[in-house]
Structure 1
Amino acid sequence: MAGHSKWANIQHRKGRQDAKRGQVFTRLIKEITVAAKMGGGDPAMNPRLRLAMDKAKGESMPKDNIESAIKRGTGTLEGVDYVETRYEGYGIAGAAVMVDCLTDNKTRTVADVRHAFSKYGGNMGTDGCVSFQFKHCGYLIYAPGTDEDALMEAALEAGAEDVITNDDGSIEVITPPYEFIGIKETLEAAGFKAEVSDVSMKPLSDTELTSEEIIKMQKLIDALESLDDVQEVYTTALMDEEE
């Protein structure tokens, strides 16, 4: 159905994120630092760190940068002490929005996030007001035309939680968040290369918007993603029509 293609929505979102490469290294370094602080510097014993390092390598981050971030997290090197915080609210047409941040100044961060919500037509809510509308999981998206039966068999055997075929023919493989890398590697070895893959907060349902609402919603998301303390922005809004 025009305007509500899961595949187009995923590609649109990925394209918007790819255009913001300048912020990627900074956010990955912060995530590696916090992951090492929370769970130690050994990726074999710290799945969150392993995932962050895998993303960093995927973005061609130099090895020295990764190692320095781990050392700052474990205290071997001095560095900024980041705190994790999450803000929730509503965007255009009531679409749920969840904003994950790493900050050294929560007072500044909450003010910036609240300002972005209010300036661009959203409303910042209370803790837990929309988080129930998302699931923390890994996902791998395969293009329309992928052999559904073969992928489903391989994915479930590898430990995937679910395999979903969308109306547009794209196929989603859902994984436990910290088993994502192993399942992805197993499927690649079987010949299935995902077009898009990540560990994220997956919306449990989508909020459909009109073309005008999509434009307004994109401005809100862009404003939130441009904030230095923001790591990720999640929304239930379908965003495939606006380029």
Structure 2
Amino acid sequence: MAGHSKWANIQHRKGRQDAKRGAVFTKLIKEITVAAKMGGADANSNPRLRLAIDKAKGVSVPKDNIENAIKRGTGQLEGVVYEEARYEGYGIGGAAVMVDCLTDNKTRTVADVRHAFSKYGGNMGTDGSVAFQFKHCGTLVFAPGTNEDALMEASLEAGAEDVVSNEDGSIEVSTGPWEFTQVKEALEAAGFKAEFGEVTMKPQNDTVLTGDDALRMQKLLDALDSLDDVQEVYTSAVIED
């Protein structure tokens, strides 16, 4: 790992997500609707839906909202039809940025995303321009001081792909995207509760930004994330205070 603090960066991201909980509700409901539409209403046979429901429960989305979102996805209730769209580009210092959207109007969405990139010092790229720099996977981060040997044994037994110890003492467990929930539950049953966990597009290399560059990059990421049609923003940027 590079010299920057992985743990501090994770805590920073978690704090920002907690602060945006209202917007997170809306995004999760859209994801549940699309997941049910694409893979059916049975979460046991639809890993994308199971993951979306798990995330929704994690931030206390009401049960009725979850059930209605599933019904809209399967056509039992009327609702907006969403399409998936992914846009790629570059931020400050050449940091890779990938933006996943669910939209009912792609023309509007691409214009909004392009405007955010250009206004805050980034550049929108073509399809595939940065996607190769990311890996679709699950990641669970455990606090410094966690028993590494015991966690590694439990993780590999649960079906994790890799366990890495960072310089700051935190430990990161990687999983396949659809194995994330089962690994997380198995580790919790073994007494290991992650401080932070998600299925993400993980950058293969970090772009560390400090000072004004870090502030400018955060403004770009916030602008993209605040767009109504944006579900997730992934970046190789590591923002240091």
Determine the C-alpha separation between the residues in 2 that align with 1:210 and 1:29.
35
Determine the C-alpha separation between the residues in 1 that align with 2:158 and 2:112.
42
Q: TM-score normalized by structure 1?
A: 0.97
Classify the secondary structure of the residue corresponding to 2:206.
coil
Question: What fraction of aligned residue pairs are identical, expressed as a percent?
Answer: 78
Match of 1:216 in 2: 216
Match of 1:237 in 2: 237
Match of 1:178 in 2: 178
Determine the C-alpha separation between the residues in 1 that align with 2:163 and 2:3.
23
> C-alpha offsets along residues 92-151 of structure 1, whole Å, 9 cap, x if unaligned?
000000000000000000000000000000000000111111111111000111001110
Match of 1:29 in 2: 29
Match of 2:148 in 1: 148
Determine the C-alpha separation between the residues in 2 that align with 1:3 and 1:33.
41
- Are the counterparts in 1 of residues 41 and 74 from structure 2 also a CA contact under 8 Å? yes
> C-alpha offsets along residues 199-227 of structure 1, whole Å, 9 cap, x if unaligned?
11111110011211100000000000110
Determine the C-alpha separation between the residues in 1 that align with 2:125 and 2:104.
22
Classify the secondary structure of the residue corresponding to 1:146.
coil
Structure 2 letter corresponding to 1:166: N
Determine the C-alpha separation between the residues in 1 that align with 2:2 and 2:126.
34
Determine the C-alpha separation between the residues in 1 that align with 2:209 and 2:66.
40
Classify the secondary structure of the residue corresponding to 1:208.
strand
Classify the secondary structure of the residue corresponding to 2:239.
coil
Determine the C-alpha separation between the residues in 2 that align with 1:30 and 1:240.
32
Determine the C-alpha separation between the residues in 1 that align with 2:19 and 2:57.
18
Determine the C-alpha separation between the residues in 1 that align with 2:3 and 2:175.
27
Offset at residue 13 of structure 1 (A): 1.2
Determine the C-alpha separation between the residues in 2 that align with 1:53 and 1:164.
28
Match of 1:168 in 2: 168
How many residue pairs get aligned? The number is 241
Offset at residue 2 of structure 1 (A): 10
Match of 2:73 in 1: 73
Match of 1:42 in 2: 42
Offset at residue 240 of structure 1 (A): 3.3
Offset at residue 16 of structure 1 (A): 1.2
Classify the secondary structure of the residue corresponding to 2:199.
strand
Q: Which runs of 4+ in 1 moved over 4 A?
A: none
Cα RMSD after superposing both structures: 1.2
> C-alpha offsets along residues 17-53 of structure 1, whole Å, 9 cap, x if unaligned?
1111120111000000000000001101100000000
Q: TM-score normalized by structure 2?
A: 0.98
Structure 1 letter corresponding to 2:147: D
Structure 1 letter corresponding to 2:228: D
Determine the C-alpha separation between the residues in 1 that align with 2:63 and 2:208.
42
